[in-house]
Structure 1
Amino acid sequence: MDAITRSANRSLRPFLIALVAAVLLNLGLRLRIFEHVLRAHQSAPWLMGVIARGLLVVFAALLVAFWWLLLVRLLPEFRRGLAPSRRQLASLVWLASGMAANNLLSENIAIYRLNLSSYTLLIDALMLYLSINLTFLFWYWFVDNPPRRLGALWEQSGSAALTTPYGIVFPEETLERDVLRSDRWQPEFMDYAYFTILSSNCFGPPEGHLLVGRPIKVLHSVHSLAMITVFIVILARAINTLN
């Protein structure tokens, strides 16, 4: 049991690092937005100001909750060799997702209020792109991993003693099933990173990858909508205003 726990913690570590990197990027972007506001001297509707300040308070609360959960609850268990619970991991990624959504909305408000443009907006768009993708990298692993590890959400195929996972079906998985008639292959960090990057750039699953089940399809749809907002609304304005 200890060996299984250590293996699970090793597989979790790169995804947890990616999630922490996403939070740090969100914090950096929030500081940039705050700096934009301090430098602005133009008037704006009072309602927009109230919304912007409310988003700032919400972001601060999410940030404090994330670091408290990570440093006080999760890391001590890691050091004792215990695997974190699904509830703790879900809370972490929900808090990180809330910060990313908060920044995405705040950036759009800043474009309207402060008339952000050019290279300033390009840097903000890049930070948003990275933070959102790192967050969804964790999400894809979180949603796809339990069916593979536990087998509780798998369904039996009709003819052979093989199973079909509810989640992402990778090309290597399909090849192994068709050629070797086995289902032992397991995706690793690079497989999820490749899937996440190409999904964000193409607004759809990469060629050869399949999405099976409602949870992974809902997750992918939200990811695509977030990327559309970054590319079409923010990045497009940045490019159009370059001198």
Structure 2
Amino acid sequence: MTAHSEKHPDDPVEAVGTPPAPGNGAHDLAELLRHRLDRIERLLAPEPAATDGEPPRPAWRAETEGEQRWAVTAAILCAIGLQLFLPERLTIHPHWILPALEGGLLVALVVLNPHPRIDHGTRQLRALSLTLVAAISLANGWSAVRLVHDLVKGTGGSNAVALLSTGGAIWATNVIAFALWYWEWDRGGPASRARGTHDYPDFLFPQMQQPDLAPANWEPGFLDYLYVAFTNATAFSPTDTMPLSRWAKLLMLVQSVVSLLTVVLVVARAVNILQ
């Protein structure tokens, strides 16, 4: 046997099928080459995913280990601090009642679920979490209404720096509050997103449209929703992340209105004071 007739046992081309016996004519040679090319194409083709008759699962629905809680905890503490910074005339009396309630709810959430990652939850935990966000929104909404009322009546104060500081605190708390709402409601909240249980997203992030821009197990975290809330409060419209569900569009609409009223009235009043 010559060296040309030897076959390597690990040759992938020889491992698939048996080629037709070559003849002496050009037709047999062409058939042999076609057979070899077909086997190479089958070897290089990707394996079809086993779907059991169901459509393939999108990458953003894959189960993840859950996001860490440090970012959302820091944001809530920042919101509580901003509320304590506001003048008492703009807050629900007593001045400390809602910030204290928010701090107590935050402590309760950490005690009931001390894990560093948010990967599971119960109805009780979700109810506490939504109550905390509602308390932050209520306190800031009350302050925003009181501020707008004072500015319309012309009793917002004569110190431009204090007025801008107060308006900036309410605006920043508004961003945090709506970031928490987006974070809590998108696909059922952080625990549901980690389990990948929802069929449709409420917000469409760029990484979900082009998976090659992020790791395979990418999931939006609180900082992503904080960015969405910040850009919506400054541009008064979505930027790179699109709201898909009606409630998401409604929330972004309300946030834009509150942000626009706060910015326009506070800046206008401050300019009048400076002049």
* Common topology (TM > 0.5): yes
Measured in 1, the distance between the counterparts of 2:77 and 2:187 equals: 19
Residue identity opposite 2:198 in structure 1: L
The match for 1:191 is 224
TM-score of the superposed pair, with normalisation by structure 2: 0.63
Residue identity opposite 1:128 in structure 2: I
The match for 2:203 is 168
Measured in 1, the distance between the counterparts of 2:256 and 2:129 equals: 23
The match for 2:250 is 218
Q: Does 1:57 align with 2:102?
A: no
Of 118, 143, 157, the residue aligned with 1:116 is 157
3-state DSSP of counterpart to 1:114? coil
Verify the 8 A CA contact 2:148 2:262 in the aligned structure 1.
no
TM-score of the superposed pair, with normalisation by structure 1: 0.71
Verify the 8 A CA contact 2:83 2:99 in the aligned structure 1.
no
1:133 deviates by 0.8
3-state DSSP of counterpart to 1:56? coil
The match for 2:70 is 13
The match for 2:181 is 139
1:104 deviates by 0.6
1:69 deviates by 2.0
Residue identity opposite 1:241 in structure 2: I
Verify the 8 A CA contact 2:187 2:198 in the aligned structure 1.
no
The match for 2:263 is 231
Residue identity opposite 1:136 in structure 2: F
Verify the 8 A CA contact 1:143 1:215 in the aligned structure 2.
no
Residue identity opposite 1:28 in structure 2: F
Residues 43-80 of structure 1: per-residue CA shift (max 9 Å, x gap): xxxxxxxxx7xx63276543332222223x22322447
The match for 1:158 is none
Residue identity opposite 1:205 in structure 2: P
Alpha-carbon RMSD across the aligned residues, in angstroms, is 2.9
3-state DSSP of counterpart to 1:241? helix
3-state DSSP of counterpart to 1:70? helix
Verify the 8 A CA contact 1:93 1:138 in the aligned structure 2.
yes
Is the helix fraction higher in 1 or 2?
1
1:108 deviates by 2.3
The match for 2:131 is 91
Residue identity opposite 1:107 in structure 2: L
1:13 deviates by 2.6
Number of residues of Structure 1 aligned to a counterpart in Structure 2? 201
Summarize the alignment of residues 4-43 of structure 1 with structure 2, pairs less than 5 Å apart.
7-8=65-66, 10-29=67-86, 33-34=87-88
Identity over the aligned pairs, expressed in percent?
Answer: 22
Unaligned runs of 5+ in 1: 1-6, 38-51, 155-163
Verify the 8 A CA contact 1:23 1:99 in the aligned structure 2.
no
1:214 deviates by 1.6
Measured in 1, the distance between the counterparts of 2:102 and 2:95 equals: 11
1:21 deviates by 0.8
The match for 1:77 is 112
- Asked which structure has the greater CA Rg, the reply is 2
Measured in 2, the distance between the counterparts of 1:203 and 1:145 equals: 23
